[in-house]
Amino acid sequence: MAPKNEPTFRQSVDMMFNRAVALMDLPPGLEEKIRVCNATYTVRFGVRLRGKIETFTGYRSVHSEHMEPVKGGIRFALSVNQDEVEALAALMTYKCALVEAPFGGSKGGLCINPRDYDEEELERITRRFSYELIKRDLINPAQNVPAPDMGTGEREMAWMADQYKRMNTTDINGAACVTGKPINAGGIQGRVEATGRGVQFALREFFRHPEAVKAAGLEGKLDGKRVIVQGLGNVGFHAAMFLQKEDGCKITGIIEHDGALFAENGLDVEAVRAWIVKHGGVSGYPDARHTSEGAKVLEEDCDILIPAAMEGVINLENAARVKAPLIIEAANGPVTAGADEILREKGCVIIPDMYANAGGVTVSYFEWVKNLSHIRFGRMQRRQEEARHQLIIDELERLDRHLGDAWSMTPHFKEKYLRGADELELVRSGLDDTMRIAYQSMHEVWQERENVTDLRTAAYLCSIQKVAASYKAKGL
């Protein structure tokens, strides 16, 4: 993590905010109102485990309530602390505003190493933590809606939702109290892959803008680009796998908690993931060079660097040695404010976290809407859409018969055209649209405002503008 002489994560986020806000003309006092974190709740609770009571510390921070509910993940990690959840809650405010998800920003965390407990123990701890948050409306479909983050996933979200329902038996919208749930517990197709998918869509949109590609000193398309990814968890795995399988990228480096793998000709992302699941880390993986000094691989030559593990990994100590011309921040806060400055001076282009990993909250938004509407996306339209397409196919087939050998339908056109979109396709389409539009809004500010020289400042400008407009409309 960041060296001692660097500002904390929250200070780092504030510094980036300040850099952007200096270019804006906000009404007096509004800048401070937007920057500060509204409230942070700390809870200490005991759970009887293995014959003794163990005390845990958890947090839920609410950064901005200009829109409600507030939204943000819950993280299970030993490193969780108040400064971190406040920084992450602030990023959630800006992220939701940037991708136009109608939420304020929040974040939570529990100081725990999930690997130290078995499933039954984890369930009891999670339910107890949820109980503490639910009774203070810090988990509530109308006020505060958590989601997965580091160390948590579908399983924990299902426990939280169930705990809420046990405590609010008559709330018909109870399932919307948390997102990232499994499908059979009110989840939505495509949520697990969403953040990594969003990283892929973000890169695709970036490469649709030749001037952006040129600014990073790169050329051409995504196809063939050499990528190094740090953290092959939920976000890093999906991003790397989709980029490899669907965009022709070569994943030359994978950095994990126990070291890194490197292979000039590309690593098989799914095989590495399977190895990690089985062995707990990358050590011992065949067909690649292994180094125990994982963080050093952040400094290797590549076209695109994807830090997807944790905050502060590119900092004052190593920033000058990072060679990647393009960094996409799949994790929250992987580049400190000091490192950001060094990298900008070197000409490195950074696609900022508040945009790059917004795929998660975007699909969470779709899930929340699905829960409130109590119907799966596409259920009403799908067959009707197919019936209308059938009409056209019938006409084309008539034409086909009439024209004989002179004309025929392209192979597979009929099957592809006839099939109405299912929920997964609709979710991916909504996510793609969101990522494209949000990129375009940042890109315009980056390219057209003379005093804006980087995408991060552009992203802050877009989102602060929206938060400010929302406060203004409220009359604050």
Q: 172 vs 271, which CB is nearer to ligand NAD?
A: 271
Minimum distance of ligand NAD from residue 311's CB (angstroms): 6
Asked whether position 331 contacts ligand NAD by CB under 6 A, the answer is yes
Asked whether position 360 contacts ligand NAD by CB under 6 A, the answer is yes
Asked whether position 234 contacts ligand NAD by CB under 6 A, the answer is yes
Among 61, 126, 163, 357, binds ligand NAD (CB under 6 A): 357
Place of tokens 């084309």: 396
Asked whether position 367 contacts ligand NAD by CB under 6 A, the answer is no
Minimum distance of ligand NAD from residue 75's CB (angstroms): 7
Cis peptide bond N-terminal to 69, omega within 30? yes
Amino acid in the structure at residue 355: Y
Burial environment of residue 165 by CB neighbours within 10 A (0 to 12, 13 to 18, 19 or more): middle
Minimum distance of ligand NAD from residue 447's CB (angstroms): 26
Minimum distance of ligand NAD from residue 99's CB (angstroms): 12
Catalytic residue among 33, 52, 95, 107: 107
Asked whether position 362 contacts ligand NAD by CB under 6 A, the answer is no
Chain residue whose CB lies nearest ligand NAD: 233
Minimum distance of ligand NAD from residue 196's CB (angstroms): 8
Interactions with ligand NAD, residue window 139-178 (CB under 6 A): 148-151
Among 249, 255, 431, 438, binds ligand NAD (CB under 6 A): 255
Q: 190 vs 378, which CB is nearer to ligand NAD?
A: 190
Among 35, 127, 257, 376, binds ligand NAD (CB under 6 A): 257
Among 85, 161, 213, 310, binds ligand NAD (CB under 6 A): 310
Among 309, 314, 339, 458, binds ligand NAD (CB under 6 A): 309
Q: 174 vs 294, which CB is nearer to ligand NAD?
A: 294
Q: 176 vs 232, which CB is nearer to ligand NAD?
A: 232
Radius of gyration of the chain (CA): 23
Note if 107 is an active site residue.
yes
Q: 200 vs 357, which CB is nearer to ligand NAD?
A: 357
Q: 356 vs 468, which CB is nearer to ligand NAD?
A: 356
Among 20, 125, 212, 235, binds ligand NAD (CB under 6 A): 235
Among 21, 70, 213, 308, binds ligand NAD (CB under 6 A): 308
Residue 167's CB: how many other CB atoms inside 10 A?
A: 15
* Closest listed residue to residue 286, CA positions, set 257, 322, 256, 261: 261
Minimum distance of ligand NAD from residue 94's CB (angstroms): 13
Question: In angstroms, what CA-CA distances link 158 with 138, 246, 265, 355?
Answer: 16, 31, 40, 27
Residue 178-217 contact track with ligand NAD, rule CB under 6 A, x = bound: -----------------x----------------------
β-bridge partners, 58: 43, 110
Question: In angstroms, what CA-CA distances link 279 with 72, 229, 262, 289?
Answer: 31, 19, 18, 17
Asked whether position 230 contacts ligand NAD by CB under 6 A, the answer is yes
Minimum distance of ligand NAD from residue 41's CB (angstroms): 19
Minimum distance of ligand NAD from residue 282's CB (angstroms): 9
Are the C-beta atoms of 145 and 161 separated by less than 8 Å?
no
Which region among 39-47, 203-211, 328-336, 377-385 touches ligand NAD (by CB under 6 A)? Answer: 328-336
Q: Can you give the binding site for ligand NAD, defined by CB under 6 A?
A: 148-151, 195, 230-236, 255-257, 294, 308-310, 330-332, 357, 360
Q: Which residues are catalytic?
A: 107
